Amino acid sequence: MNNEIIKLTNTLINKDGLHQTFIKDIAIYKTTKAVPRAPLIYDLCLIIVLQGEKIGYLGENIFNYNFQNYLVVPTTIPFECETIASNDEPFICLLITIDKKIMYEIIDLIANKNALNSKSKTSQLGIFSDNVTPQIEDTILRVLQTLSSKEESRILGDSLLKELFYRIASGENSSFLHKMFLDTKIEAKIARSLRTMHENYNEHLDIPTLAREEDMSTSSFHTHFKKITTLTPLQYIKKIRLNKAHKLLAQQSFQVNDTAFAIGYESSSQFSRDFKSFFGYPPKEAKPSFEEYLIV
């Protein structure tokens, strides 16, 4: 990113934390402290790093994203991240919610033109990284210039987001994004199931029923689900529940027993064992962090 982008960002924020902007779908996140690898949940978002670096982990896949690479999460994914930052070089990023209505419109307009981006590299993972092009950098600069004014943000915000989403949808690695927004594709079917699990994580979720709702066999559902998320459906539900539990404990001061039942566990002791195995410490030691506020 050029120096002007960093200067503009520093005029908009000066403290660590997650800062909402005048454009409702854009937040700026800053930290001067390195954050060790920890589980998070990202949902339908675009992360553009302006300074510093993040390392993301999805199964055995590693994603390095910095000012040269952005990260696209076109569905709900339990993810693990570590953040590289210091007082001398804080980590700063734009966290942008992907507007499904705008993205559907863009994909519909360009799908026939480039046959699902035929030059795109194919990947079955439900997350991808791509290069920051000069066009994207120019759009980011204009976004930051606009964010300094509430009036300009209100008038120009939607058009700037649409331009940015178009650039992302035209990226070299964007094939999964295209497929996810075409309703008949396997990726779109799994994405809908991920959303169902995410919204109903504290209820009993029957996997064969979820498969039938998308006109898929249970075996096919399992196969494609794991290709996209690197997890089985049951592993995915467990990760969603435990991440939600951490948020309840750390941000809302829930008691351990209440948390266990709130996320769908029948046994508080089993919840405590699973929580410690997943996070490395017991539920009573859960503490809030700036990173946690990125959890959806």
Contacts of 236 (CB under 8 A, 6+ apart): 78, 194, 197, 225, 229
**What value does the mean pLDDT take over residues 119-127?**
64
Last residue of a domain, one of 164, 180, 196: 180
Domain identity same for 94 and 200: no
- Report pLDDT digits (tens) over 127-148: 889 999 999 999 999 999 999 9
Whether 30 shows a pLDDT value over 80: the answer reads yes
Q: How far apart are CA 286 and CA 223, in angstroms?
A: 34
Domain identity same for 135 and 261: no
**What value does the mean pLDDT take over residues 95-108?**
89
Supply the pLDDT for residue 108: 81
Last residue of a domain, one of 180, 208, 223: 180
- Report pLDDT digits (tens) over 223-232: 999 988 999 9
Whether 222 shows a pLDDT value over 80: the answer reads yes
pLDDT band at 176 (very low <50, low <70, confident <90, very high): confident
Supply the pLDDT for residue 291: 57
**What value does the mean pLDDT take over residues 156-185?**
88
pLDDT band at 183 (very low <50, low <70, confident <90, very high): low
Q: Which residue has the higher pLDDT, 180 or 214?
A: 214
Number of domains forming the structure of the chain: 2
Q: Alpha helices, DSSP H only, in the chain?
A: 3-12, 100-114, 134-147, 150-169, 175-180, 186-199, 207-213, 218-229, 233-251, 256-262, 268-279
Q: Which domain holds residue 259?
A: 186-294
Last residue of a domain, one of 163, 180, 197: 180
Whether 295 shows a pLDDT value over 60: the answer reads no
Query: What is the pTM for the complete model shown?
Result: 0.81
Average pLDDT of every residue of the chain: 88
Q: Give the residues across from 127 on adjacent strands.
A: none
Instruction: Evaluate whether 246 touches 40 at the Cβ level (below 8 Å).
Output: no
pLDDT band at 43 (very low <50, low <70, confident <90, very high): confident
Whether 296 shows a pLDDT value over 80: the answer reads no
The token pair at 293 is 């506020």
**What value does the mean pLDDT take over residues 36-45?**
87
Domain identity same for 115 and 261: no
Domain identity same for 10 and 149: yes
Domain identity same for 222 and 81: no
**What value does the mean pLDDT take over residues 259-287?**
92
Domain identity same for 166 and 290: no
Domain identity same for 95 and 216: no
Whether 122 shows a pLDDT value over 60: the answer reads no
Supply the pLDDT for residue 3: 85
Q: How far apart are CA 32 and CA 15, in angstroms?
A: 9
